Amino acid sequence: MTPPTVALVGAGGHGLRHRERIAELQDQDDVRLVALCDINPIVDDAEAPLPADAKLFDDHRLMLRETQPDVVVICTPPHTHVEIARDAARAGADVLVEKPPVLTRAEHFELVGVLRETGRVCQVGFQALGSAALVELTQAMAAGRLGEVTAISAVGSWQRDDGYYGRAPWAGRRSLGGQPVVDGALENPFAHALMQCLALATVVGDDQPSVVEFEGYRTRPIEVDDTACLRVGFTGGLVVVVAVSLCGEDFIAGDIIVHGSGGWGVLEYPTDRLRLPGDSDFREVPGRVGLLENLLDHRASGAPLLVPLERTVGFTDLIETVVAAPPAHPLEPPDVAVTGEGPERQTTIVGINAALRRAAEELRLFRELGVGWSVEPYRTVLHRGGVPADHAVRTAG
């Protein structure tokens, strides 16, 4: 049986990880890489060498016409996703697109329409949703092991230097050339944390987000937040809080906390470590289903997609709401400590880890915790389905 052909758009940066996985699958005769496309020069890599028979392109439309791939993997800046995915589907390819898949609800439903029109499918690169640890946590919730679940929260504390925001022209921007761009803490690096919370929220019920409150802060001359706290109230009473920073003190990989009357379940989603009520400590739950492999299984046998585009509409709704918030509030010394110079320059918010932990555990915003540098949150009320019900206002939480 001839393996399906795969093309990758976005062959550098994070695209190298996709090249490595595609190379492994090609070694197993599960796929055949036919093309790499990037507007920048495509270089060879020890872990992801360029196959001799793969063609190189700098235009994805030309690539689609000349190679007609069965599957297109898209690892390009977020604001380019919808155009490339649309063109790939209309060229007859199924799609695996990195997160965030699209920037707006309008783009989401535009792409859904194209998929229905063409009969193609789109898998979204929220790979943490393929975790066996997440499955176990979901099963524990459904079985009542945590009692009544009233809230889900996430906390993460990473460190990114100035070089991170110099990695591309769109990095740290709200717009580029008049086109919206999303590169804030929640939209990109901590997108998995938010999506994990939303996935677990569906286990609690089919209630919809009704109120969104958001605080965004920046410690450097960028256009987006590098520290954020988001709280979402659902129609049935569930609360979701995500508190994250790229200006952290001690490293917190990323904890998802399920608050239940019978105890808390905590999933460290980047490492697949899980602690349920009764566990003395975290334990690793091995096993992740790869999203490209799942997409290939779907093509071969009709197996359900793990992260079809439709599953991510709630994520897009919240990101669109966050992007509509006022610009991130600037923080400066003495609230911010600065070390290093040039691309290695780092900024650390003094006391941020304690604030992040408290926000996730107490389900409160920074302003409500009395954090000295905090400002009043942006707040908006949503119609059912995630559409703003009125003009969002900046009001005290």
What does the pLDDT look like over 126-143, one tens digit per residue? 999 999 999 999 999 999
3-state secondary structure of 86: helix
Ranges 103-112, 200-209, 239-248, 300-309: which has the least confidence: 200-209
Ranges 204-208, 222-226, 355-359: which has the least confidence: 204-208
> Is 292 contained in some domain?
no
162 & 90 share domain: no
178 & 323 share domain: yes
356 & 210 share domain: yes
Residue 12: give its domain's CATH number: 3.40.50.720
Contact 322, 217 (CB under 8 A): no
107 & 193 share domain: no
User: How many domains does the chain fold into?
Assistant: 2
Q: How many CA atoms lie within 13 A of 174 on its CB side?
A: 16
Structure tokens given for 252: 């917190």
pLDDT, mean of residues 54-70: 97
**CA–CA dist 190, 184 (Å, integer):** 9
Residue 320: give its domain's CATH number: 3.30.360.10
Domain boundary among 68, 99, 124: 124
> Is 94 contained in some domain?
yes
Domain boundary among 124, 145, 167: 124
194 & 222 share domain: yes
Q: Say what the pLDDT of residue 45 is.
A: 82
Domain boundary among 124, 145, 172: 124
pLDDT single digits (tens) 227-261: 999 999 999 999 999 999 999 999 999 999 999 99
120 & 261 share domain: no
How much is the mean pLDDT over the chain? 94
pLDDT single digits (tens) 29-48: 999 999 999 999 998 887 78
**CA–CA dist 247, 280 (Å, integer):** 31
**CA–CA dist 386, 388 (Å, integer):** 6
384 falls in which pLDDT band (50, 70, 90)?
low
Domain with 25, as residue range(s), is 5-124
87 & 66 share domain: yes
Amino acid at 30: D
> Is 304 contained in some domain?
no
Structure tokens given for 373: 């540098």
387 & 248 share domain: yes
Q: Say what the pLDDT of residue 387 is.
A: 53
99 & 237 share domain: no
> Is 300 contained in some domain?
no
94 & 164 share domain: no
Q: Is 200 exposed, middle or buried (0-12, 13-18, 19+ CB in 10 A)?
A: buried
100 & 175 share domain: no
